[in-house]
């Protein structure tokens, strides 16, 4: 990630001046404000603004006149209770606004989360930067044989090198031609809204993205999951750190009851009951499909 | 509106302590924070928290690294441009959280605005207050003869007095019986989730309500309108004052291009063109239905 | 539930005439169309329209040019896979439209599910029917001592009788006065939008409600749950039967992986692993709170 | 647009078999079902399913027991009234499901409309077709000098030819390299989720898109507008024809009160009043900004 001097100055300027407010603050998040946290080779996440903190969750759950905190302990207990029992509306009372720089193919997955507010950099209006995502060598994987929408093992060195060479060359050429088409030097210059169609999906875009905490948790549950594509997962993991600093009780509850939780089908519960009674169960006698049995064993199989 | 001493203390306590933050603030809204603004006889609106200000709108529209303000003048111009051309997403970048006390029949209209976050006081869990909306005498109207979902003229004194007497007596009796049913004095006491069904729709409830500025404007356009029922309109008008203090440029643009704007059908535009050319047009020659012609005349008829 | 002769005729008329369509149909749901299924004392659910069936889910998941079905077996397998792995968007491709009659206090819980379309009978425009929910004697419970938002044991006979007498008397009186206020017999007649505020929360309202299958499942997971209030749970259970007739594969998958599934926290998974290894675990050594341990034991405790 | 023989067969198969249903049908739309309507060089729109028709709008507005139609005339009048007064919920009671093939840069604009259901062809799972949008020569415009996010005049022949040559060459090369990277011929083959990043934004994708009529109208108002980019506008225009066949009354009301309507600011209304009174008004005396005056004159200026 490289920011221009102008951008660095703008960020530093923001961090230099503080204001007095009667609003609640989240101390742990103040120190992250505005700072660009690098993700991938040219991407970043910046926290622009936030509303609420752990206490705001219990305040709303109690429809309080004041802060709504009783004691730190009872607040944490209430937050864990709300999370465990899918009482989602109090978590919607916290809101965060981010500035994110990310490759277009990641943005296309991200935008599928509809309950959020977005302002994207307009390539109709402005010229995109010459920045493309080129994977690190340890992220150049073959198509998976098991999971048809995932990655298998690493490509061997020669093949990986060929891939890298292609990605770099095509990105460069496409951007050179993008610039050539919009240039007004000795020609009229193609409209930007047309020229952008020549740019590949690894070009970086950026947007302001604003979301409430409940919907952010939903995003993180799906995108910090090991089945998510690596390139969006690293953004989700960066966000996990930010959320942990912002609302530590809520984040811990999310980890315990959502992110690291396991959902058992009615059939799996029955299998577990039999196993706890000392019965020896295998796939044949479990009533589970092979795929379900494999998923079940990955959690409860002997190590 | 009457708050308990405990509630007043909680509010004063909130207003007494300020914090330092690196976030942007909206000076005009800070002084409104937490204060209960009376609406109707027992209702109120309290601003609990907010995110953003006028500059946050242009910052998002420009996907800026810093504040995104260029000059106050160009900011206002951009905000007006965005409002005029239905570029709604930058307005979604501001958010406000309110604590509202309101009669149930108003809450039932309000909740129809779905793009918002709500935590309502639970009458399954808690006991509702003995507070009912009783209209002022100057708000006791007959059914309209013109508009089948509106009010006509004021009821005359005797009839109005009968109405008031009924509303007061029924509210009181229903609440007395509500208390009698849940009482655990010499009996088991009915479950609250059942007892509440005896309370009429003018009982007050309360909730935390959080919404972004774009969707708040949509709410205000419909509910501050003269066709809205008086009892929700006074809440909308109270909110208009709050929004004007929070984001003055955006609010002015909303007034000019939405709240006080007029939408002309294709046919009405044609009629106006003919009138500007000096032609005398009446309903017969206008091609408008009688109802449309009446609406048209209410804006452009001779005074 | 009692429908007027006119309403019965309208329903019969709808069922009498069929149309030819090129669209897919759901045979199991056709026979339910338009029929009013009774719920509570005066309520009902009627299916008005639907879009899609089990095959529409796989068709969308595969972005097919034709029906998208491969074989019935592979379709069911794919539907179960999608449900198990939270791939929710294909389930959004089915839609259902209902006409529901329900008490206002149930409607107030129901409307909290925001991702749906609603047209409610307008009490500003029309006069509500004289119909109130009066619980059956076996549904008149005391406040729970354990769960502060639930019901405990049945009230004893005398207390239950007092409750019933109150509910009936107050409903009747409030409605009598509602009628008296809006009457234009010898007086002007109060506006309906005002008079309705005198009606208690057990009065019946009705609406058209339209929702996609994914969001309907979410509704059913929360409202067919034993923690939901009885009066909304019976509607949810009625809906479960309708959905089972409409999309049998999807409904079975929903039952197995959602409705009857159990979510285990990270800590609970660890406890289960220890128990499967033969360790004796109790609350003290489990690391779970007392409340969590009770919830855990209710699933995996010895019978 | 070219469909494979297999795709044509699948579509013909769908159209060959009809079903009996008790549901309402929209005769005008039945004949469009499944047929691929060409848009741009390789795109199309296909109607896959629908729910409701004009009568369904009034049925929901009236919360009817039967069809809810009174007379064709009163239905049309009610629909026009609902549209004119922003009563949007009855229009949400109609739903349509489409299969659309479109360039990625168009899909990126389209997806910003969040209140819709989407299943997109997965380039993690499947291999994209070798199909790229290449503009017709009469759509190769220069950047606009007036509107910084739009097109100006046509590029002259030589420059347009250079642009076309670049777009074709880069698309072809990128796709060749995409195929080379995923090939498992003599190498492991790069994961599809990575290889896709080499494809430019004019590659075609496809999705199932389902939306209610109110939100579809909102989409059409923004995207059938002359300020929308040509490449999405042609899709919106194709949709306008489909909607006109589906719900002719609602579509006509949409045209008159939304698509072809004009919104006047409070200031513009005042200017019009002065002009109707015979006053000569120019920009200086109007109180409008130059930009607003230009917009005003484009509607009401002398021809």
Which residues of chain A have a CB within 8 Å of the CB of C84? 265, 292, 295
Which pLDDT score is estimated for A266? 92
Q: Which of A109-113, C112-116, D48-52, D143-147 has the lowest mean pLDDT?
A: D143-147
* pLDDT tens sequence across A117-175: 999 999 999 999 999 999 999 999 999 887 777 899 999 999 999 999 999 999 999 99
Question: Which residues of chain D lie closer than 8 angstroms to A174, CB-CB?
Answer: 170, 174, 200
Q: For residues D44 and D37, what is the distance between their CA atoms, to the nearest angstrom?
A: 5
B204-263 pLDDT, tens digit per residue, is 999 999 999 999 999 999 999 999 999 999 999 999 999 999 999 999 999 999 999 999
What are the tens digits of pLDDT across the range C232-277?
999 999 999 999 999 999 999 999 999 999 999 999 999 999 999 9
The residue among B6, B28, B60 with the most chain A CBs within 10 A of its CB, best to mutate, is B60
Section C149-177 average pLDDT: 95
| Rounded Cα–Cα distance for residues D24 and A273 (Å) | 49
A171, D172 in Cβ contact below 8 A? Answer: no
User: Which residues, 6+ apart, have CB-to-CB distance to D264 below 8 Å?
Assistant: B261, B262, B263, B264, D272
Q: Is ipTM strictly over 0.90?
A: yes
Query: At C48, is the secondary structure helix, strand, or coil?
Result: strand
List of chain B residues whose C-beta atoms are within 8 Å of the C-beta of residue D89: 112
Residue D69 scores a pLDDT above 60: yes
Q: What is the pTM of this model?
A: 0.96
For B248-278, what is each residue's pLDDT tens digit? 999 999 999 999 999 999 999 999 999 999 9
Find residue A120's DSSP bridge partners.
A207
CB contact under 8 A, C119 and D93: yes
* The residue to which tokens 């006390």 are assigned: B101
pLDDT tens, position by position, A268-295: 999 999 999 999 999 999 999 998 999 8
Alpha helices in chain D (DSSP H): 5-16, 27-30, 54-61, 72-84, 104-110, 157-182, 192-195, 213-223, 230-246, 248-254, 266-276, 283-286, 290-300
Q: Tell me, what's the pLDDT at D147?
A: 77
Query: A60-81 pLDDT, tens per residue?
Result: 999 988 776 667 778 999 999 9
What distance in Å separates the CA atoms of residue B213 and residue B83, rounded to the nearest whole number?
12
Residue D182's pLDDT is 97
C-alpha of A131 from chain center = 20
pLDDT band at residue C1 under the 50/70/90 scheme: confident
The band of D95, judged by pLDDT with boundaries at 50, 70 and 90, is very high
CA–CA distance, D156 with D244 (Å, rounded to integer) = 38
- Dihedral of CA C252/C254/C260/C266: which sign? positive
With beta carbons less than 8 A apart as the criterion, state whether B66 and A5 touch.
no
Chain C: residue whose CA lies nearest to B112: C111
pLDDT for residue D50 is more than 70: yes
Mean confidence (pLDDT) of chain D = 94
DSSP 8-state class, residue C111: T
Least confident piece of the model among B276-280, C106-110, D131-135, D248-252: B276-280
Token pair in block for residue D99: 């299969």
% pLDDT > 70, chain C = 98
Q: Which among A254, A218, A253, A270 is positioned nearest to C289, based on CA atoms?
A: A253
The yes-or-no answer on residue C124 being catalytic is: no
pLDDT category at A303 given cuts 50, 70, 90 is: very low
Q: Which of A77-81, C148-152, C193-197 has the lowest mean pLDDT?
A: C148-152
What residue in D sits closest to A104 (Cα-Cα)?
Answer: D197
Candidates D109, D144, D164, D188: best to mutate against A (most CBs of A within 10 A) is D188
10 Å CB burial of residue D141 (0-12, 13-18, 19+) is buried
Instruction: From residue A76, give the alpha-carbon distance in Å to each of A250, A294, C162.
Output: 8, 36, 41
Q: Which of D256, D291, D299 sits opposite B265 (nearest CB)?
A: D256
- C103 has pLDDT over 50: yes
Cα–Cα dist B252/B76, whole Å:
10
Top pLDDT among D50 and B73 is at D50
**The pLDDT value given to residue D303:** 46
pLDDT of residue B59: 95
Per-residue model confidence (pLDDT) at position B150:
84
Bridge partners, D102 (sequence order): D205
- Give how far the C-alpha of residue C112 lies from the chain's centroid of Cα atoms, to the nearest Å: 12
Residue C12: closest CA among C34, C44, C43: C34
CB B145 within 8 A of CB C191: no
The alpha carbon of residue A79 is apart from the nearest alpha carbon of chain B, in Å, by 14
Q: What is the pLDDT of residue D68?
A: 62
Candidates B189, B172, B233, B213; CA nearest to B43 is B233
- Beta-carbon contacts of residue D198 (< 8 Å; ≥ 6 apart): A166, A167, A170, A200, A201, A202, D174, D177, D178, D181
Distance from C-alpha of B80 to C-alpha of B87, rounded to nearest angstrom? 10
Answer whether C52's CB lies under 8 Å from C28's CB. Answer: no
| Catalytic-role residue among A15, A80, A130, A223 | A223
Given B46, B124, B223, B290, the catalytic residue = B223
Does C303 have pLDDT greater than 60?
no
Q: Which residue of C has its CA nearest to A225?
A: C85
- In tens, the pLDDT along B9-33 reads 999 999 999 999 999 999 999 999 9
Measured CA distances, B75 to B27, B54, D81 (Å): 17, 8, 38
Instruction: Show residues of chain D in contact with B80, CB under 8 Å.
Output: 289
Alpha-carbon torsion (A23, A26, A30, A34), positive or negative: negative
Residue C123 · residue C244 · CB < 8 Å: no
Q: Give me the pLDDT at residue B94, please.
A: 98
Contact A267 C256 (CB under 8 A): yes
How far CA C295 is from CA of C262, C263, C279, C291, C292, in Å, comes to: 10, 11, 20, 6, 5
Residue pointed to by tokens 């008790």 = D22
The alpha-carbon gap from D131 to the nearest alpha carbon of chain B, in Å, equals 32
**Conformational region of residue A260, where left means phi above 0, alpha means psi within -120 to 50, and beta covers everything else:** alpha
Residue of C264, C267, C275 lying closest to A276 (CB–CB): C275
What is the residue-wise DSSP string for B213-277?
Answer: HHHHHHHHHHHSSTTS-HHHHHHHHHHHHHHHHH-HHHHHHHIIIIIT-EEE-HHHHHHHHHHHT
Q: Do C292 and A222 touch (CB under 8 A)?
A: no
Asked if B273's CB is within 8 angstroms of D272's CB, the reply is: no
pLDDT confidence bin for A204, thresholds 50/70/90:
very high
Q: Which of B151, B188, B198 shows the shortest C-beta gap to C156?
A: B188
Spatial CA neighbour of A225 closest among A159, A155, A150, A167 = A150
Are the Cβ atoms of D229 and A142 closer than 8 angstroms? Answer: no
Mean pLDDT on A185-214: 97
- What subunits touch chain A, counting only 3 or more CB pairs under 8 A? B, C, D
Name the β-bridge partners of C141.
Answer: C154
pLDDT, tens only, C83-96: 999 999 999 999 99
For residue A125, the chain D residues in CB contact (below 8 A) are 148-149
Residue pLDDT, tens place only, D259-302: 999 999 999 999 999 999 999 999 999 999 998 999 899 999 86
- Residue D66's pLDDT band (boundaries 50, 70, 90)? confident
Residues of chain D neighbouring C24 (CB-CB closer than 8 A) = 19, 49
Q: Which of C112, C223, C273, C291 is catalytic?
A: C223
CB D11 within 8 A of CB D34: yes
pLDDT digits (tens, 9 = 90+) for C41-86: 999 999 999 999 999 999 999 998 877 666 777 899 999 999 999 9
A263, closest residue in chain C (CA to CA): C263
pLDDT at A145: 83
Q: Which two tokens stand for residue B232?
A: 């929700």
D256·B275 Cβ contact <8 A: no
User: How many Å lie between the alpha carbon of A99 and the closest alpha carbon of chain C?
Assistant: 27
Nearest CA in chain D to B221: D86
């Amino acid at each position: 990630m490289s920011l221009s001097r102008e951008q660095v100055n703008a960020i530093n300027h923001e961090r230099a001046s503080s204001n007095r407010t009667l609003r609640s603050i989240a101390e742990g998040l103040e120190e992250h404000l505005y700072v660009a946290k690098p993700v991938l080779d040219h991407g970043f996440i910046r926290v622009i603004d936030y509303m609420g903190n752990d206490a705001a969750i219990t305040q709303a759950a109690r429809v309080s006149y004041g802060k709504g905190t009783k004691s730190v302990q009872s607040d944490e207990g209430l937050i864990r209770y709300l999370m465990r029992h899918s009482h989602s509306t109090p978590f919607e009372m916290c809101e965060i606004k981010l500035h994110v720089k990310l490759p277009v193919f990641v943005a296309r997955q991200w935008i599928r989360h509809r309950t959020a507010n977005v302002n994207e950099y307009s390539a109709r209006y402005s010229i995109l930067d010459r920045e493309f995502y080129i994977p690190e060598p340890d992220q150049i994987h073959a198509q998976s044989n098991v999971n048809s929408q995932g990655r298998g093992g690493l490509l061997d060195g020669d093949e990986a090198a060929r891939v890298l060479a292609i990605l770099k060359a095509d990105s460069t050429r496409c951007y050179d031609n993008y610039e050539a088409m919009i240039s007004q030097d000795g020609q009229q210059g193609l409209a930007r809204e047309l020229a952008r169609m020549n740019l590949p999906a690894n070009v970086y875009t950026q947007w302001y993205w604003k979301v409430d905490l409940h919907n952010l948790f939903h995003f993180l549950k799906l995108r910090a999951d090991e089945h998510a594509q690596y390139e969006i997962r690293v953004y989700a993991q960066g966000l996990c750190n930010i959320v942990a600093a912002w609302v530590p009780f809520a984040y811990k509850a999310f980890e315990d009851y959502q992110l690291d939780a396991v959902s058992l089908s009615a059939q799996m519960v029955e299998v577990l009951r039999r196993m706890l009674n000392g019965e020896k169960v295998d796939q044949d006698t479990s009533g589970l499909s092979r795929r379900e049995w494999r998923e079940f064993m990955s959690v409860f199989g002997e190590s």
